[in-house]
Structure 1
Amino acid sequence: MKGFSAGVMLRGAAMGAADIVPGVSGGTVAFITGIYDQLIESLKACNLQALKLLFTRGPSAAWQYVNGGFLLSLLLGIAISVLSLARAISWALATHPLLLAAFFFGLILASALFVYQQIPGRGQPVGFVVLGLVFALVISALRPAEVPVNMLTVYGAGAVAICAMILPGISGSFILLLLGMYEPIINAIKSMDLGMIAVFMLGCATGLMLFVRLLSYLMHTHRRSLLATLTGILLGSLAVIWPWKLSSAGRLLTDEHSVDWHNVLPMQYAEQADPQWLMCALLMAVGFATVLLLERVASRN
């Protein structure tokens, strides 16, 4: 397979696993593993020029133009991860929600610090960090809409959610929750409903091709401001992944995919159930260390 990379496929698998969890973005994984810029530019290259090369100079030229080996390796990893881990992560969300959330909390916190360190130049644009933080907190405060499940809404959900999935700090899964489309999409993956999956993927492709052009422009012309904003978004997304949550009535959440919640301290949660705070603290540290390890491996490569 020309241009295939096992390392990129593994990064894709990590992105796919992250995207399944509400509150975690695959774009965050892409950033901390050092492939974010390459991902954006490769996706941007999937344009009319690539199509022209396909018909004028053949598949090989078009493949090289779009960095096909990289994209194929990444998408293969994402697909394998989503199809194989959908059930496992759904099980973990249902049976060990505190522990899973704690791990990703540490991962996102370390990612925010990592992105902040990547801001070029002297003096950090704190205003954009605050802007990103407020934006993420507003998103986390939204509650789900009542959206009928049909092919049009599935297509639209894909187009919107993919923009969040590719952007570090905003969870595509959480956007699907807000749209009321998380359960239908996960169930379609579990049951291998190829029709719904195809429509969702078509929506993802449409949204992605439009959004990556904006991201590429911002990365090249306003990189400092963009990275500062992404730092704030990552910090704000910690409110979504915070492990200890109760329902609006102050009870334990009966549905792991519910967004009818508010964050509480571990001692408040202890009034309803075991907060498992020692194990959660350990897994937060493991998540934090995982980012440091990924960044170190990526920098060596």
Structure 2
Amino acid sequence: MLMGTADLIPGISGGTIALITGIYKDLLASIDSLNYKNLSLIKGGNLKKLWESINGDFLVTIFSGIIISILAFSYLIDWLIKNQPIQLWSFFFGVLITSIFFLKKLVFNWNFYSTIFLIIGILISYQLTSLPLKADDTTLLYLFFCGIMGSIAMILPGISGAYIFLILGVYQTLLNSIKMITKVWSSFNWDIFTETFLILSVTGLGFIIGLRIFASILKNLIEKYNDKTMPLLIGLMIGSLQKIWPWQEIVNINLNNEKYLYSKAILPSTYEGNPEILTSLIVMITAILLTIFLGSKNLTLKK
């Protein structure tokens, strides 16, 4: 459920949560096991062997938790982003910065190439999280593409799938559709249901395809080139820190007659409004302690 909650928030990745809770490698391996060889067991009716081969209990537990938390917390996260952004970002800034120190332990032989890949990761993530945010675009083909891109970001620690949706201009559309799902059963409207179903199913299809392909690639990279891949992932996390820094300034800009929003990190002393420094520090320290507790118990990656 922590992964699902994180995936709702622009700036924190479900992959980061998977890493600090110690399930990242199992998650990649289980998704990668959804291949033709295992799925062909359906033809022979050998469902028990299929379930064991794909680690079915694990996958169902993880993804049902993600779906439930997304549905349950969509209103809360939307409210926090709009009404308590400093406290929200303070919490996840504490989570992310502590996770970075833990992940250093997963690089077994830090060398020159590890440093190069760390720098590459920082530059990629910083550039991605510095892009202006586009106004919503909701064509079905575009939503399918966004689903693929969002899945890649979700599985990568440091790059938030929700933030990629923001950059691509579909975050609010998807969040509104998720919120609408929780309403549709109490006041059913066929037109609203059809529109919501199309938006989420097309995006979801792209997400599933992207997740399956990229999880396999990432799993192989970690197994064969761990001391290059892990520094790259750490770099992605470091580069995204500026995006979840609690104090941001929002600027409206126009590019090619299209409206964009640009967010930049600023000092608390230059923040327009009450910077709530004491509250944010308390929240940040709480997040750091919680991450230390989770990470010290769960963070492992076999050599």
TM, length-normalised to structure 1: 0.88
Q: In the alignment, is residue 37 of structure 1 matched against residue 25 of structure 2? A: yes
Question: Match of 2:186?
Answer: none
1:82 maps to amino acid: I
* Structure 1 unmatched ranges of 5 or more: 1-12, 250-257
* Structure 2 unmatched ranges of 5 or more: 182-195, 253-259
Aligned residues: 279
Say whether the 8 Å CA contact 1:162–1:204 is kept in structure 2: yes
Give the counterpart of 1:264 among 266, 281, 300: 266
Say whether the 8 Å CA contact 1:54–1:61 is kept in structure 2: no
Report deviation, 1:146.
5.5
Q: How far does the alpha carbon of each residue in 1:85-127 deviate from its partner, in whole angstroms, 9 at most, with x for none? A: 0000110111100010001001000111111121112547222
Question: Match of 1:246?
Answer: 249
Q: How far does the alpha carbon of each residue in 1:152-173 deviate from its partner, in whole angstroms, 9 at most, with x for none? A: 1111111110110011110000
Say whether the 8 Å CA contact 1:177–1:259 is kept in structure 2: no
Question: Match of 2:276?
Answer: 276
Question: Match of 1:77?
Answer: 65
Q: How does 1:23-102 map to 2 (within 5 A)?
A: 23-56=11-44, 58-102=46-90
Aligned residue for 2:43, secondary structure, equals helix
Say whether the 8 Å CA contact 2:102–2:299 is kept in structure 1: no
Q: Which moved more, 1:278-287 or 1:91-100?
A: 278-287
Report deviation, 1:57.
5.1
Give the counterpart of 1:211 among 196, 209, 214: 214
Question: Match of 1:148?
Answer: 137
- Percent identity of equivalent pairs: 31
Report deviation, 1:219.
0.8
Question: Match of 1:4?
Answer: none
Report deviation, 1:297.
3.4
Say whether the 8 Å CA contact 2:131–2:262 is kept in structure 1: no
Give the RMSD, CA atoms, in angstroms: 1.8
Report deviation, 1:260.
1.7
Deviating 4+ runs (over 6 angstroms): none
Return the alpha-carbon distance in structure 2 between the equivalents of residues 148 and 104 of structure 1: 28
Aligned residue for 1:154, secondary structure, equals helix
Q: How does 1:9-20 map to 2 (within 5 A)?
A: 13-20=1-8
Question: Match of 2:108?
Answer: 120
Return the alpha-carbon distance in structure 1 between the equivalents of residues 136 and 145 of structure 2: 11
TM, length-normalised to structure 2: 0.88
Return the alpha-carbon distance in structure 2 between the equivalents of residues 143 and 247 of structure 1: 10
